[in-house]
Structure 1
Amino acid sequence: MALLNRSGNAFAMRDNPPSIWPDFLVGQAEQPARVLLVDDDPLVRHVMAQELLADDRITLVDQAGSVREGRRKIAQHAFDVLLVDLNLGDGTGFDLIELAKRSRPGVEVVVISAIEDEPQVLHAFELGATGYLLKNAWFGNFPQAVLQVVNGGASITPSLARRLLHRLDQRDAGQTGPVNRTKLSSRERDVLKMVASGYTSAEIGGRLGISLRTVNAHVRNIYSKLQVKNRAQAVSYATDRGLI
């Protein structure tokens, strides 16, 4: 059964879960959003898997319990969203985020974590994550997060989002004197334009013919000059002021 909105677009009725889901969004029963789940806690994986499998807009293509296994699964499967814990027994989820974004540029990443660690959050976003959820969060569930990011949105635990916004407010309130925000070099502008286009640091280095270390140095300089903490803030600030 389908309903029509005022523009004439179809909205599909869902029995599981009961909802109205537009047919033009990613995540349909006949073509669900594909998820790869990586967490080293079997119980957490089981609970999350059950939650994902209960939504017919999502398919769980596979699971992994370690960085090593996650690398193999990333190479084996096509998927749309990587749900990944940062603290894995044999390494960190950061390695898998970088690998996923490098090998599958269109993939979205949602971090699942037991703690609200601001430096970890910012680093995950710098690497290309578009979501960060606490495992015990009451607001929002994992299927909702998957559907948000795969359709161009972002998903972050509300309490953590509030803390980050408060941190930005404090930073802005504490700024005094002139800020050297517009004196980006030509190469820094090139790097920032590619960051805004969604390229990873490795891809930027390859396209510009410079090393990964040089790219990261340019990114750090951009952060310093614009007085921002991550790529999203840098792109937002530069775009608003016509720097790129």
Structure 2
Amino acid sequence: MSAPSRILLCDDQELIRMGLRMVIDSQPDLTVVGEAADGQTVLERSAELRPDLVLMDIRMPGVDGLAATRRLCAGPAAPKVLVVTTFDLDEYAYGALRAGASGFLVKDALGEEILVTVRAVLRGDVMMAPSVIRRLVERFVLPESSAVHTDRLGLVTDREREVLTLVARGLSNREIAGRLHLGETTVKTHLGRILAKLDLRDRVHAVIFAYESGLVRVGA
């Protein structure tokens, strides 16, 4: 049996940390290796403990979760980061996704939802509904942001651009395969190349890029 995945909790509310620890430590495949109450401490504890996943609060004193996420995700052997937030439509949560987080979890989520989300992110999936990403983008992407990324679209082929467009519209790999008359494995290959060419971390960041580059228009 493989060793349990290592989780580091970061929240300035002790009760939140206690609740998350109880849920996570009840599972044989997961273990909480440490806690932090602010961004600076989570950076130090992450370097010390080398967790697989950090559950990251955003609004904390001192170094907030947004800055901590940016620094964690930019470092070598970065852990995955799952944002824990009070509201799904949160400017700070959106900023954390852009900084490298792989999704977010609302603080009042039920225990089973927490476990499903944590395991999915550990597998490399992104736990965020496309509809939520779209609402975040519509609220927080500025109209002029497209100029920043438009030139990078030239790095992808026409087929890859089609795939990226459909990803941004919320289609699964299977649905994209059906729409473009491709094999699902081929779609996965295209998506992998898109992420590599555009230096994107995962599907969430591909969706954000598609909107910010103007490939997909807000409200379209």
Asked whether the two chains share a fold, i.e. TM above 0.5, the reply is yes
Q: CA deviation at 1:122?
A: 2.2
The DSSP-based 3-state class of the residue aligned with 2:94 is: helix
Distance (whole Å) between structure 1 residues aligned to residue 49 and residue 88 of structure 2: 30
Q: Which amino acid aligns with 2:151?
A: L
- The residue number in structure 2 matching 1:155 is 127
Q: CA deviation at 1:163?
A: 4.4
TM-score by length of 2: 0.63
Distance (whole Å) between structure 2 residues aligned to residue 118 and residue 135 of structure 1: 13
Q: Does structure 1 residue 116 correspond to structure 2 residue 88?
A: yes
The DSSP-based 3-state class of the residue aligned with 2:151 is: coil
Distance (whole Å) between structure 2 residues aligned to residue 92 and residue 231 of structure 1: 21
1:25-36 matched pairs, under 5 angstroms:
30-36=2-8
Question: CA, structure 1 residues 132+39, in 2 after alignment: closer, same or farther (shift >3 Å)?
Answer: same
Q: Which has the higher helix share?
A: 2
Aligned residues: 171
- The residue number in structure 1 matching 2:103 is 131
- The residue number in structure 1 matching 2:164 is none
- The residue number in structure 1 matching 2:151 is 184
Distance (whole Å) between structure 2 residues aligned to residue 43 and residue 118 of structure 1: 21
8 Å CA contact 1:37, 1:45 repeated in 2: yes
Query: Any stretches of 5+ residues in structure 2 without a counterpart?
Result: 157-194, 216-220
Q: CA deviation at 1:183?
A: 6.0
- The residue number in structure 2 matching 1:232 is 206
8 Å CA contact 1:118, 1:164 repeated in 2: no
- The residue number in structure 2 matching 1:43 is 15
- The residue number in structure 2 matching 1:198 is 201
- The residue number in structure 2 matching 1:87 is 59
User: Sequence identity, in percent?
Assistant: 18
Deviations along 1:34-92, whole A, 9 cap, x unmatched? Answer: 11111111111011001000011111111111122212101211111110100112231
Question: CA, structure 1 residues 197+52, in 2 after alignment: closer, same or farther (shift >3 Å)?
Answer: same
8 Å CA contact 2:58, 2:93 repeated in 1: no
Aligned-residue Cα RMSD (Å) equals 3.8
Query: Any stretches of 5+ residues in structure 1 without a counterpart?
Result: 1-28, 200-229
Distance (whole Å) between structure 2 residues aligned to residue 194 and residue 105 of structure 1: 20
- Structure possessing the higher relative contact order (Cα contacts under 8 Å, 6 or more residues apart): 2
1:5-44 matched pairs, under 5 angstroms:
30-44=2-16
Q: Does structure 1 residue 64 correspond to structure 2 residue 31?
A: no
Question: CA, structure 1 residues 194+128, in 2 after alignment: closer, same or farther (shift >3 Å)?
Answer: farther
Q: CA deviation at 1:95?
A: 1.7
Distance (whole Å) between structure 1 residues aligned to residue 24 and residue 124 of structure 2: 19
Q: Which has the higher strand share?
A: 1
Question: CA, structure 1 residues 129+101, in 2 after alignment: closer, same or farther (shift >3 Å)?
Answer: same
Question: CA, structure 1 residues 194+123, in 2 after alignment: closer, same or farther (shift >3 Å)?
Answer: farther
Q: Which amino acid aligns with 2:206?
A: A
TM-score by length of 1: 0.57
Question: Higher mean Cα deviation, 48-57 or 137-146?
Answer: 137-146
- Larger Cα-atom Rg: 1
Distance (whole Å) between structure 2 residues aligned to residue 65 and residue 185 of structure 1: 38
Question: CA, structure 1 residues 69+151, in 2 after alignment: closer, same or farther (shift >3 Å)?
Answer: same
Q: Does structure 1 residue 146 correspond to structure 2 residue 118?
A: yes
Question: CA, structure 1 residues 74+194, in 2 after alignment: closer, same or farther (shift >3 Å)?
Answer: farther
Q: Does structure 1 residue 75 correspond to structure 2 residue 75?
A: no
8 Å CA contact 2:9, 2:55 repeated in 1: yes
